[in-house]
């Protein structure tokens, strides 16, 4: 199956000379149009997940579907390969089923809109965006059921359909889909906002074609892609060796009592091409933690990481894809067979960034990040308020970002650079809850020359009975430290009942009943530390104690002794560091903390939860 693009004017585009100034103008115009897409979306969407947090990802692509500007792109090729109809001027496509687009979107909550851009009857490019919907039906409010065993339990699945056919909106299709959603007003408004963002990019591309000519625009896009490829080829040649390096990490559990699930990747270079082979990754889960990983999406992850670490000045686009080969075993956690459940794939998605960072840093440890891109904590809260109106919250929380070669990891920061938190004032204004505490967790970031970012502790006071669901990870395994740094703290979720009883909740659970006056203490993980903590400036550690980022006892992890005024005691610090120096292993690149076997023995005592059981396949 493959899409057929119909155009009135079949005249081929001519390659023309594009001077450097024009090329830079077009490049920056594309970047600006991408940010205009975000501005349009955030000003018109309704759900807090998109409007406040920015859980949506724009893309502007060339006529073949390669991303020219965007944040989380590379999904058009999967659509084109999976759609066997026609693409005509005025068509706008809509889909959400990962199995119909080669995993271009990875769970049914992500609604993808694609718009083919035409100029004078000729196809010149694409604009596209997907956003996470608060609800698309299914077993539980929020449509992210931990206990789902097939995708049919996760809400409505939209195959590639034309939301607009030659410019005419297909209202019947929209009505059928929105009828399945618990929050149809939000879903409808968010979808309209996504369409508006795509139309904004369409206008900007057409304006560029008007200004410079379509031939110049098309030639410029080819040059931008080629420039990226040449730059990435140089990075790959200098940063990836021909010898194989491997790394493995774990998703802690599947929410059904089984785990941990191994994700393994081996990387090497053959000529000018990088091979990323995921052989050794565990088989798919019976639960919804599977991540149907699109190969082009993984290439994009790899490229973003390479550019951000080694040369942030490179404009990121899809031009380098021929330089990366991805091998994912069928039937694995990252390539499950239909109809495997996919809704809670976020944990594997976050863990892949930890794995990629570990792979790319082994050859050059000075560029290595610790672990901390480890998950994307979700909280869902729903019910009926005192007026009998349905309310439903979907919120993403943040953990500690890992310690890095060039500094500390941010405290309580988003995995995705464009995300922000939902303001507490918004939560209290629109939902029956009160935020009693929102603060960093001292010592939760791993100690190191560069400290791992601290996790955050949020205390939700529920003003109305309802149900909550939680989706998180890094409660069993530690976010590892590197180059002598210590692991970060693990996450915990505790429900304090109005009568004072305390209940430790699993990191993945659905339909937990809460009553008025109950409090949820939601602690996220900390990032791993980078480098020998004994080399961290003692006065800086003392200042962080005074700021509440490190405790007095925690300062001793850095070998720092404090006075009564919480100033660094130089003599006592030197003595303590001399003793501790004997036990610091600076030769070990990765510090995972206790082994999996040790964690199983300690789990109940340390977390209050039963350890996960090794799956049997």
In this predicted model, what pLDDT tens digit does every residue of 411-461 receive, in sequence order? 988 766 678 889 999 999 999 999 999 999 999 999 999 999 999 999 999
Only one residue has tokens 């000075």, namely: 366
Only one residue has tokens 């939680």, namely: 470
Most confident of 346-350, 395-399, 433-437, 586-590: 433-437
pLDDT of residue 235: 87
pLDDT tens digit string along 207-223?
Answer: 999 999 999 999 999 99
pLDDT of residue 306: 78
Average pLDDT over every residue of 396-418: 87
- Can you read off the two tokens belonging to residue 410? 């941010």
| Domains of the chain, residue spans | 4-232, 376-532+584-611
In the sheet that holds 456-462, the strands lie side by side as 433-440, 456-462, 519-523, 492-496, 502-504
Average pLDDT over every residue of 113-128: 96
Average pLDDT over every residue of 521-543: 97
- Can you read off the two tokens belonging to residue 316? 């990121």
How does residue 568 score in pLDDT terms, banded at 50, 70 and 90? Answer: very high
Q: Tell me which of 5-9, 22-26, 291-295 is least confident.
A: 5-9
How does residue 307 score in pLDDT terms, banded at 50, 70 and 90? Answer: confident
Residue 72 clears pLDDT 80, i.e. is over it: no
DSSP structural state of residue 179: T
Average pLDDT over every residue of 15-41: 95
- 85 vs 350: CA distance, rounded Å: 34
pLDDT of residue 415: 67
Query: Could you tell me which residues come within 8 angstroms of residue 193 by beta carbon, excluding any fewer than 6 positions away?
Result: 40, 41, 44, 45, 46, 50, 131
pLDDT of residue 75: 83
- 417 vs 579: CA distance, rounded Å: 40
Residue 533 clears pLDDT 80, i.e. is over it: yes
Distances in Å between the Cα of 154 and the Cα atoms of 110, 251, 260 are 12, 21, 23
How does residue 305 score in pLDDT terms, banded at 50, 70 and 90? Answer: confident
What average pLDDT is seen over the chain?
93
Helix intervals (H) in 113-261: 171-178, 184-212, 214-239
Average pLDDT over every residue of 358-376: 85
pLDDT of residue 310: 67
pLDDT of residue 569: 96
Number of H helices, E strands in the chain: 13, 24
pLDDT of residue 272: 93
pLDDT of residue 547: 96
User: What percentage of the chain carries pLDDT values higher than 90?
Assistant: 82
User: What percentage of the chain carries pLDDT values higher than 70?
Assistant: 98
pLDDT of residue 1: 55
Average pLDDT over every residue of 392-404: 93
Residue 249 clears pLDDT 70, i.e. is over it: yes
Residue 474 clears pLDDT 70, i.e. is over it: yes
- 573 vs 566: CA distance, rounded Å: 13
How does residue 312 score in pLDDT terms, banded at 50, 70 and 90? Answer: low
Only one residue has tokens 């009135």, namely: 8
Provide DSSP, 445-513: SPPSSBPPPP-EEEEEEESS-EEEEEE---SSS---EETTPPPPPPPEEEEE-TTS-EEEPPSEEEEEE
Only one residue has tokens 């809850």, namely: 433
Q: Calculate the CA 76 to chain-centre distance.
A: 19
The answer to whether 135 and 143 have CB atoms below 8 angstroms apart is yes
Average pLDDT over every residue of 125-150: 96
Residue 313 clears pLDDT 80, i.e. is over it: no
Q: Among 157, 186, 138, 178, which Cα is nearest to 511's?
A: 138
pLDDT of residue 3: 80
- 546 vs 550: CA distance, rounded Å: 8
**What's the pTM value of the predicted model, to 2 decimals?**
0.94
Residue 303 clears pLDDT 70, i.e. is over it: yes
For the chain, give percent helix, strand, coil, nearest 5.
30, 25, 45
Residue 203 clears pLDDT 80, i.e. is over it: yes
pLDDT of residue 301: 84
The reply to whether omega before 363 is within 30° of 0 (cis) is: no
Distances in Å between the Cα of 544 and the Cα atoms of 287, 450, 540, 555 are 42, 13, 6, 9
pLDDT of residue 304: 80
């Amino acid at each position: 199956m493959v899409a057929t693009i119909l155009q009135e004017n079949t005249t081929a585009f001519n390659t023309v000379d594009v001077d450097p100034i024009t090329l830079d103008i077009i490049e920056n115009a594309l970047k600006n149009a991408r940010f205009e897409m975000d501005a349009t979306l955030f000003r018109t969407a309704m759900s807090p997940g998109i409007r406040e947090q920015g859980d949506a990802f724009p893309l502007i692509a060339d006529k073949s579907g390669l991303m020219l500007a965007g944040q989380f792109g590379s999904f058009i090729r999967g659509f084109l390969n999976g759609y066997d109809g026609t693409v005509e001027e005025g068509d706008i496509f809509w889909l959400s089923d990962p199995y119909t687009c080669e995993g271009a979107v990875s769970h049914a909550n992500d609604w993808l809109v694609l718009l083919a851009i035409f100029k004078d009857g000729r196809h010149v490019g694409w604009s596209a965006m997907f956003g996470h919907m608060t609800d698309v039906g299914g077993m539980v409010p929020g449509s992210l059921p931990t206990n789902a065993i097939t995708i049919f339990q996760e809400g409505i699945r939209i195959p590639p359909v034309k939301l607009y056919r030659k410019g005419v909106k297909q209202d019947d299709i929209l009505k059928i889909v929105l009828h399945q959603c618990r929050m149809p007003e939000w879903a409808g408004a968010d979808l309209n906002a996504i369409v508006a963002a795509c139309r904004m990019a369409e206008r900007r591309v057409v304006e560029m074609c008007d200004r410079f000519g379509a031939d110049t625009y098309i030639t410029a896009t080819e040059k931008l892609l080629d420039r990226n490829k040449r730059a990435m080829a140089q990075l790959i040649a200098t940063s990836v060796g021909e010898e194989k390096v491997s790394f493995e990490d774990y998703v802690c559990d599947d929410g059904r009592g089984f785990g941990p699930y191994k994700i393994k990747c081996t990387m090497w270079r053959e000529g000018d091409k990088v091979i990323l082979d995921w052989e050794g990754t565990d088989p798919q889960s019976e639960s919804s933690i599977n991540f149907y990983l699109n190969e082009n999406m993984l290439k994009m992850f790899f490229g973003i990481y390479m550019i951000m670490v080694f040369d942030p000045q490179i404009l990121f686009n899809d031009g380098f894809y021929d330089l990366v080969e991805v091998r994912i075993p069928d039937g694995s956690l990252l390539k499950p067979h239909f109809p495997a459940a996919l809704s809670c794939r976020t944990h594997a998605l976050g863990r892949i960034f930890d794995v990629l960072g570990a792979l790319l840093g082994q050859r050059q440890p000075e560029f290595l990040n610790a672990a901390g891109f480890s998950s994307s904590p979700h909280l869902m809260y729903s019910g009926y308020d005192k007026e009998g109106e349905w309310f439903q919250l979907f919120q993403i929380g943040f953990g500690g970002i890992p310690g890095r070669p060039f500094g500390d990891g941010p405290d309580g920061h988003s995995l995705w650079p464009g995300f922000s938190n939902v303001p507490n004032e918004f939560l209290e204004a629109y939902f029956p809850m009160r935020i009693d505490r929102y603060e960093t967790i001292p010592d939760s970031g791993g100690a190191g020359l560069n400290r791992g970012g601290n996790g955050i502790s949020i205390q939700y006071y529920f003003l109305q009975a309802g149900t909550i669901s939680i989706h998180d990870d890094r409660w069993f395994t530690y976010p590892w430290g590197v180059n002598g740094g210590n692991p970060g703290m693990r996450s915990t979720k505790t429900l304090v009942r109005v009568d004072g009883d305390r209940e430790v909740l699993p990191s993945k659970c659905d339909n937990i009943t809460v009553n008025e006056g109950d409090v949820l203490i939601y602690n996220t993980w900390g990032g791993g530390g980078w480098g020998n903590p004994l080399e961290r400036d003692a006065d800086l550690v003392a200042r962080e104690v005074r700021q509440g980022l490190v405790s007095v006892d925690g300062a001793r992890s850095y070998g720092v002794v404090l006075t009564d005024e919480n100033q660094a005691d130089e003599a006592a610090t030197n003595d303590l560091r001399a003793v501790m120096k004997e036990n610091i292993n600076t030769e070990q690149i990765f510090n995972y903390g206790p082994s999996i076997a040790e964690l199983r023995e300690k789990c109940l005592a340390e977390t209050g939860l039963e350890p996960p059981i090794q799956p049997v396949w």
